[in-house]
Structures are given as C-alpha cells and as structure tokens.
C-alpha cells in the first residue's frame, strides 16, 4: 500500500480524542493517560512484522528488520505537557509509523528501520527534559540529582518511573539501543513563527541552539525611599535594568538568530519604601554558533561590570545551566533539502531554539537531521497549537522521502 499522509491526520485527531480533554493534550509522561496513548500506538502497529521492545529507560522501539542490522531511526515522543497541543511530539511518532507501514508493505528493506517513542521528552512533571533520549545517548550522568527530584504532589521520580518498571540505576543501559544506529531522523512542528512568516510549509533544521543560563546577583544598599537623595543611592535594580535593555543590542549586533532574554528579576527587600538592595536577575542566551554564543556571554559580563561601576554596585555571576550548540549532519541536511523541494518547492534552513531528542542522539555521534513543519502563529505547549492539515500531510511525505534517501545512503555505505 502506498503512503497515506491523510491517515496520519486522522490518527492524530483520534489520539486527541483518546488522550485529550477540553484543555488540550494530557499525556504527561509517567501517567495513566500517557500509557494509554502508548498502548494505542502499539495497537495500531500490531499488524506489522515489527519487533517491539521497551528499553531500560522506558523508550518504546518498533523495529522493522532489514537485510542489514545497521539501522535508520525515526523518533518522536508521545508525552505532552499538561494542557498541551495535539501535534508536539506525537506528529513525529505517527508520521514515522506511517512511513514504517509503507516500508513494511514494500518488503524487507536493505537496512533495519526503527521507530522510537522516547520516554519523557518534556520533563513536564519533574523538570528533567529528554529523559529517555539522554539515557540512550549516554549523557544521563546525574543519577544522584535525578533521585532527588519530586513532582508537585511529592512523588519521587524514581517511584513514578518505577511504576512503569523503569529503574533509575539501570536506565543508562538504554545506551546499547544506539549501537547499530546509522542515522536519526525527526520531524517536528516548528513551535515558532519563522516558516509561517516566510509562507513555507517545511524547513530543514540546522541544529539546536547552544544555551547559556546564568543568575546575576547585583548588590547595592537598602535605603529609605523618602530620605535618600537620588545621588546617594546604590540601587541594585538599576544595574539589572541597564543590563536587561543592553541585551537587545547584544543580540542584534551578534545576529544570525541570536536571542537573549532576562526572564526575571527578584528584588529585595522588594517593598515600595526602599531602594533595592539585591536584584537577582535571570539570563538566557542562545546561538547556533559556539564562538558567537561565547562572545555574547563575554559582552554581557563586560557591560555588567561597567554598569556596576556606574551604579556603585557589586555584581556576581552564578551559572545555572549550559549546553553547547549541536549541529546536524551535512549529508542528511542535503537529503532534507531535497525531500522538501520534492514535496513542496522552496526549502529553508533554520536553527531550532527549543531542544529536542534529536540533539541528544546527535551528541551521541549518530548522524542526525530534523524537519520542521510550520506552526500556526508560532504557538505550542498550548491547546491553541495548530498546523494546517495540508501542511501536516506534506510533512509526512517529506519524512517518507527523507527516510528513503537515508536508507539508500546507509545501504550504499555498507
């Protein structure tokens, strides 16, 4: 049977009715609704000649054995945020399932093809994103920290995953799943406004942004709001405010998609009658180029030192989290461009601001690429998340073409 992209749209609607409510998708990882969505997926693939396996990190693998064990992987995640959209993560899985069905019906492929439904991409319940893919990629090195995580109800991560027969200490054994991987493909909604603004249905993803996250602590002197002359103040908020505005200039002068965000400032004492003594400012900077990311951070630190002098403040930087930019595979990017031009004409390459499971797989050394399909109004992680059905169908076709090219490439390299 040929590929049927419209079936993917129908299946997505069905999944929405099975695991969503009036507020959106409710497939939060390690919950009964998530398990129901996964069982529904497994049911829909039961008629195909697949090997089905749940690995030690809770990832579900659907394997179509080929003439060679070398494997082309397609991935996505059935889990959602609470009140999530109907496409984030599950479009990837259901499109991959359709491609797998088409391949299975064409006979034994020259290389093995595997669909993976990663466990807990969103990290919505415990604040730890990319759980399953980081385990498989060998970058889950924080068992001690993970053991301390609890959800809003006080349930520990270890207990929550234990209910799904996943043992935190054994999760890294999922690493062996990537041993045979020759390539990894992931289709995802863009979750941003770029493709819509260009009036393009599809784009090839260059990689995922590197991220620098810091807490900047400005220290001045609390003083009475009535009795302290303006010239005598050491106002910690003034330093944070100057830096927040300077970030615009840093991002603009860096260019190439640079983004800088001051996501919050907490002031103490934080009362209307006092000058601010300490201001804790949150900073997030992202870029696809490691050198440019480093220079954005250096520029912010240099400006902060100057503002501290001007305002007679102390300033200290505390790291929160960082990750290097991850660039996808050039050959696969070429195939992605070709697949897009074949199904919808002009192609466009763009970076991904959000992280994805693909970033973990790429970090593990597996050649990786992603396709983005346009998101209406750039909205995601809300029930308002949407993509035109005709664009969804094009995205399934593009994934199918990309998979076909990748399979031929891997088969040729054997």
Segment near Zn ion (CB under 5 A), from 45-53, 62-70, 88-96, 214-222?
88-96
Q: Is 88 in the site for Zn ion (CB under 5 A)?
A: yes
* Nearest CA among 78, 46, 80, 52 for reference residue 65: 52
Q: Which is nearer to Zn ion, 136 or 237 (CB)?
A: 136
Q: Is 84 in the site for Zn ion (CB under 5 A)?
A: no
Count Cβ neighbours within 10 Å for each residue of 186-210 and write b for 16 or more, e otherwise. bbbbbbbebbbeeebbbbbbbbbbb
**Binding-site size, Zn ion (CB under 5 A):** 2
Q: Which is nearer to Zn ion, 96 or 239 (CB)?
A: 96
Minimum CB–partner distance for residue 373 and Zn ion (Å): 12
Minimum CB–partner distance for residue 85 and Zn ion (Å): 9
Q: Which is nearer to Zn ion, 88 or 329 (CB)?
A: 88
Segment near Zn ion (CB under 5 A), from 44-52, 80-88, 146-154, 258-266?
80-88
Q: Which is nearer to Zn ion, 66 or 192 (CB)?
A: 192
- CA 11 from chain centre, in angstroms, equals 23
Q: What is the helix (H) or strand (E) element at residue 182, kind and residue range?
A: strand 181-189
* Distance in angstroms (rounded) separating the CA atoms of residues 408 and 411: 5
- Residue 53 backbone dihedrals phi, psi, to 5 degrees: -150, 140
* Distance in angstroms (rounded) separating the CA atoms of residues 132 and 294: 29
Q: Which is nearer to Zn ion, 209 or 307 (CB)?
A: 209
Subset of residues 99 to 128 that bind Zn ion, contact rule: CB under 5 A: none
Q: What is the DSSP letter of 214?
A: E
Q: How would you classify the pairing of strands 111-117 and 68-76?
A: parallel
Q: Please say whether the beta carbons of 119 and 166 come within 8 A.
A: yes
Q: Which two tokens stand for residue 130?
A: 């990319």
Q: Which is nearer to Zn ion, 208 or 285 (CB)?
A: 208
Segment near Zn ion (CB under 5 A), from 84-92, 128-136, 213-221, 264-272?
84-92
Q: Is 24 in the site for Zn ion (CB under 5 A)?
A: no
Of 66, 85, 89, 257, the residue at the interface with Zn ion (CB under 5 A) is 89
Per-position DSSP letters for 401-414, written without gaps between them: HHHHHHHHHHHHT-
Residue whose CB is nearest to Zn ion in the complex, by number: 89
Interface ranges with Zn ion (CB under 5 A):
88-89
């Amino acid at each position: 049977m040929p590929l049927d992209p419209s079936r993917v749209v129908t299946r997505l609607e069905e999944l929405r009715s099975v695991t969503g409510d009036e507020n959106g998708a409710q497939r939060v990882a390690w919950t009964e609704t998530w398990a129901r969505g996964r069982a529904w997926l497994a049911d829909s693939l039961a008629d195909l000649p697949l090997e089905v396996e749940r690995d030690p990190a809770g990832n579900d693998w659907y394997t179509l054995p080929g003439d060679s064990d070398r494997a082309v992987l397609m991935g996505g995640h059935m889990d959602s945020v609470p009140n999530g959209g109907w496409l984030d993560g599950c479009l990837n899985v259901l499109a991959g399932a359709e491609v797998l069905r088409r391949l299975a019906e064409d006979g034994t492929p020259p290389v093995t093809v595997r669909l993976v439904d990663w466990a807990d991409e969103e990290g919505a319940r415990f604040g730890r994103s990319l759980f399953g893919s980081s385990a498989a990629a060998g970058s889950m090195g924080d068992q001690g920290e993970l053991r301390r995580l609890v959800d809003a109800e006080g349930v520990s991560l270890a207990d929550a995953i234990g209910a799904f027969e996943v043992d935190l200490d054994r999760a890294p054994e999922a690493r062996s799943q990537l041993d045979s991987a020759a390539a990894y493909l992931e289709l995802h909604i863009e979750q941003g406004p770029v493709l819509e603004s260009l009036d393009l249905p599809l784009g090839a993803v260059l990689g995922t942004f590197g991220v620098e996250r810091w807490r900047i602590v400005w220290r001045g002197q609390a003083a009475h709001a009535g009795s302290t002359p303006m010239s005598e103040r050491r106002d910690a908020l003034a330093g944070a405010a100057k830096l927040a505005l300077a970030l615009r200039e840093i991002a603009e002068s860096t260019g190439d998609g640079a983004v800088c965000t001051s996501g919050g400032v907490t002031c103490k004492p934080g009362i209307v009658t006092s000058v601010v003594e300490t201001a804790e400012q949150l900073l997030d900077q992202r870029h696809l180029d490691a050198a440019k990311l480093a220079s954005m951070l250096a520029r912010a630190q240099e400006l902060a030192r100057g503002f501290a002098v001007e305002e007679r403040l102390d300033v200290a930087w505390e790291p929160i989290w960082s990750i290097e930019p991850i660039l996808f595979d050039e050959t696969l990017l070429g195939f992605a461009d070709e697949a897009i031009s074949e199904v919808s004409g002009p192609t466009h390459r763009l970076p991904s601001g959000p992280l994805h499971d693909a970033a973990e797989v790429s970090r593990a050394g597996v050649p990786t690429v992603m396709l983005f399909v346009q998101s209406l109004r750039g909205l995601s992680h809300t029930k308002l998340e949407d993509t035109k059905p005709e664009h969804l169908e094009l995205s399934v076709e593009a994934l199918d073409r990309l998979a076909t090219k990748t399979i031929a490439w891997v088969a040729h390299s054997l």
